[in-house]
Amino acid sequence: MADTLTLPVPDSMKIIEFTAGSLRFADNLPEAPPADGFVWVYLDRAQLEQAMPLLQHAAQTLGGSQMLDLHGLDLSLDIHPSNYDYTSVYDLIVFRRLAMPGEQGEEAELRADAAGAPALQARPTQAGNRLAAFDRIRSQAVGFVIFDRLLISVHPPGCPTARSFVKRFLADIQQGLDTATARSRRPSSPADLVLRMINGMVDSYLELRRDLTAELERWQVHLLRNDARNTDWNALMNARSQLHLLEDLCEEQLDAMQEWLDSLREQPLESFHAQPAQAQEQRDMLVARARDVVEHIERVMQHARRLQHSAETVVQIHFSAQGNRTNDIMRVLTTLTAIFLPLNLIAGVFGMNFREMPLLDWRIGFWVATGAMAMIALLLSLWFWRKRYLDSDR
């Protein structure tokens, strides 16, 4: 036991003990979880293989059972879709969060291409791309192993999710909040902490939708302009593909969270290690938080579908506008043809090769014919103008 406890702790691994009143960073794994709290262990995926013996020991001593090898493989895959699985001792949740700008993603993309899976990492966009915001729909997997008194989370390199929550909890302690407020702002269980982090991940999708909507509206304005030229249809097709990807991603997230929500509803009160009344309150709170996360995911999915519909609609509107502009041009050309048609008729009549024709021997016959042709052209132009056949904005 002592040899196992002295296993080296990777640099990216952090061990935090949560209690009812505060939190504490630990250099090594504790021998037992706090009586009124739990232990959170989080690390980068790059060091998961090195830290697996230590994590298995933590799962055995603090959680009551080692992790299955299959679940360890799920935690190591960055291309793993959002999913929920469980055993009799712990729950496993893989949730794909929105990648931050500048985060690493090429390795995951290459592995996805090699495995034949759809790559979730978008290619770099060219300069001047009007739909560059859609290339921000990139996701990375975060894995959670949830015991009653232990939480193990595996994050992609540079993931700010865990650090941001730790900073928030430390800020609450430094502000000296009263006990009741501190307890309400700090997680009461590993499941509570996971729900808070997942809710923050989903909120990042909700924030992204404003940028996506603004980009698509600017694109619509561009396509409806009369002088729209050199339209980058590849960018629009890429945007539609990213929206389909976002919808599929939300469906996976929704399925995983819905299964976990059903599991929380069926979770026995004895697993909360509290009095029946308090245990019931904790379970109701977890169910409420899970329902809130599910509702947020549904909002993102509905918005993705609306954007897909808008992207398809703007293409139809563009070609309809192009058809209307073509009709305007054809109407003007037809009107000009109708104006000059009588003139061509007069010119054709006087161009016939007869020996005797009226006005041919008349000294001012040319000017009479020319004046008549000009008068006819003027009258027809005025008539077509009043009918607005020459108005291109009709």
Dihedral in degrees, nearest 10, Cα atoms 275, 280, 281, 283: 120
**Residue 125 CB contacts under 8 Å (≥ 6 apart), including other chains:** 132, 135, 235
Q: Please count the other Cβ atoms lying within 10 Å of the Cβ belonging to residue 31.
A: 9
Q: Is the dihedral of CA 162, 29, 8, 92 positive or negative?
A: negative
Q: What CA–CA distance (Å, rounded) separates 23 from 273?
A: 19
- Secondary structure class of 273 (helix, strand, coil): coil
Q: What is the pLDDT of residue 58?
A: 92
Q: Are 80 and 112 in contact (CB under 8 A)?
A: no
Q: What is the pLDDT of residue 388?
A: 79
Q: What is the pLDDT of residue 117?
A: 40
Question: Where does residue 103 rank: exposed (0-12), middle (13-18), buried (19+ CB within 10 A)?
Answer: middle
Taking only the tens of pLDDT, the chain with its 394 residues reads 444 445 677 777 899 998 876 788 888 888 888 888 899 999 999 889 989 999 999 999 999 999 999 999 999 998 899 999 999 899 999 999 887 665 544 344 433 443 344 433 333 333 345 567 777 788 889 999 999 899 999 999 888 888 888 888 777 666 655 444 445 567 888 999 999 999 888 888 888 888 888 888 887 777 776 665 556 667 777 788 888 888 888 999 999 999 988 888 887 766 666 666 777 888 888 889 899 999 989 988 888 888 888 878 877 777 787 787 788 888 888 888 888 888 888 888 888 877 777 777 788 888 888 888 889 889 888 888 888 777 755 4
Q: Please count the other Cβ atoms lying within 10 Å of the Cβ belonging to residue 74.
A: 20
Q: What CA–CA distance (Å, rounded) separates 176 from 170?
A: 10
Domains of the chain: 2-321 (3.30.460.20), 330-386 (1.20.58)
Q: What is the pLDDT of residue 7?
A: 65
Question: Would you say the pTM of this structure is higher than 0.75?
Answer: no
| Residues facing residue 39 across a β-bridge | 17, 150
Q: What is the pLDDT of residue 357?
A: 77
Q: Are 144 and 92 in contact (CB under 8 A)?
A: yes
Structure tokens at 63: 């959680």
Q: Whose CA is closest to 130, among 47, 33, 227, 236?
A: 236
Q: Are 155 and 263 in contact (CB under 8 A)?
A: no
Q: What CA–CA distance (Å, rounded) separates 274 from 198?
A: 25
DSSP per residue, 5-51: HTSPPPTT-EEEEE-SS-EEEESS--SS--TTSEEEEEEEGGGHHHH
DSSP letter (8 states) at residue 381: H
Q: What is the pLDDT of residue 93?
A: 95
Distances (CA, A) of 353 to 244, 350, 366, 367: 72, 8, 16, 20
Instruction: Please list the alpha-helical segments (H only) found in the chain.
Output: 2-5, 48-58, 69-76, 106-115, 161-174, 179-185, 190-224, 233-266, 276-350, 365-386
Q: What is the pLDDT of residue 2?
A: 41
Span between the terminal Cα atoms of the chain, in Å: 86
Q: What is the pLDDT of residue 144?
A: 96
Rg over CA atoms, the chain: 35
Q: Are 335 and 390 in contact (CB under 8 A)?
A: yes
Q: What is the pLDDT of residue 61?
A: 92
Sheet holding 14-18, edge to edge: 23-26, 14-18, 38-44, 150-155, 139-146, 91-98, 83-86
